[in-house]
Structure 1
Amino acid sequence: MNSSRLSQLLDFLKNDPKDAFTLYAIATEYKSTDPQEALKYFEILLQEHPDYLATYYHVAHLYLELEEDEKAEAAFKKGIELAQKQENALSLRELQNAYNEFLFED
């Protein structure tokens, strides 16, 4: 985690607390060092910005890391559905591959 980048992102969030990209960037910064804090920001995204597609791949993997398999599966499925709706072939392929891997390992 880059603490100066995180500090700057948190300042951006104070100025615009509803900005999806800033929330996503903060969650990503926390992901490797403080998974629970990352989860807090990812879940804000899921609630307040359910169409922010990038969230689903990362939150699903974080749920897996936290051994919350049911939530991970739901996130994969919702992300796949959203990628289809948004006609985002790259994200759809990434989510489907990750979901298939999850199913295979489960």
Structure 2
Amino acid sequence: MQSTRLIKLLEFFESDPNDPFVIYALATEYNNLNDTEKAFHYYHTLVNKHADYVGTYYHLGKLYEKEQQKDKAIETYQQGMLAARNKRDNHAYSELQGALNSAMGMDYEDD
């Protein structure tokens, strides 16, 4: 049985399948429902059709990490950092840098 939120998002998607926010919301909802196949589908749609939608990269990278695909996570974080730099989004860049460092085992703690 689909959640009410998912049903509403699918309705929004049907009326505007090119809206990056709706695609992102669907990816996130499927991720929250542990439907990784559909979550990957919508995240990849964003990366391929809306590469400047910076929020995608962090969550896609985390999904790769959850699925034990560290190399793809690292690549995704790096792509996201380029997208963030191009949009001059320093906050997103910093978050992606932190995720990249963590994925690479370089998340140092202060003594």
* % identical aligned pairs: 37
**Alignment partner, residue 21 of structure 1:** 21
Unpaired runs of at least 5, structure 2: 107-111
Q: TM-score, normalised by structure 2?
A: 0.88
RMSD of aligned C-alpha atoms? Answer: 1.3
1:48-67 equivalence runs, <5 A: 48-67=49-68
Q: TM-score, normalised by structure 1?
A: 0.92
**Partner of 1:84: helix, strand, or coil?**
helix
CA distance in 2 between counterparts of 1:49 and 1:83 reads 13
CA distance in 1 between counterparts of 2:40 and 2:29 reads 11
**Alignment partner, residue 9 of structure 1:** 9
| Aligned length in residues | 104
CA distance in 2 between counterparts of 1:50 and 1:99 reads 18
CA distance in 1 between counterparts of 2:84 and 2:52 reads 9
After superposition, the C-alpha distances for 1:3-22 in whole angstroms (9 at most, x for unaligned) are 11110000000001111100
Unpaired runs of at least 5, structure 1: none
Q: State the 4+ residue runs in structure 1 displaced beyond 6 angstroms.
A: none
Task: Give, as a single letter, the amino acid of the residue that structure 1 aligns with 2:47.
Answer: L
Report which of the two has the higher share of helix. 1
Structure possessing the higher radius of gyration over alpha carbons: 2
Greater CA deviation, 80-89 or 55-64? 80-89
After superposition, the C-alpha distances for 1:43-87 in whole angstroms (9 at most, x for unaligned) are 111111111101000000101111222211111001111111111
Task: Give, as a single letter, the amino acid of the residue that structure 2 aligns with 1:61.
Answer: K
**Alignment partner, residue 41 of structure 2:** 40
**Alignment partner, residue 109 of structure 2:** none
Query: How far 1:32 sits from its partner (Å)?
Result: 2.5
Query: How far 1:35 sits from its partner (Å)?
Result: 1.5
Task: Give, as a single letter, the amino acid of the residue that structure 2 aligns with 1:68.
Answer: Q
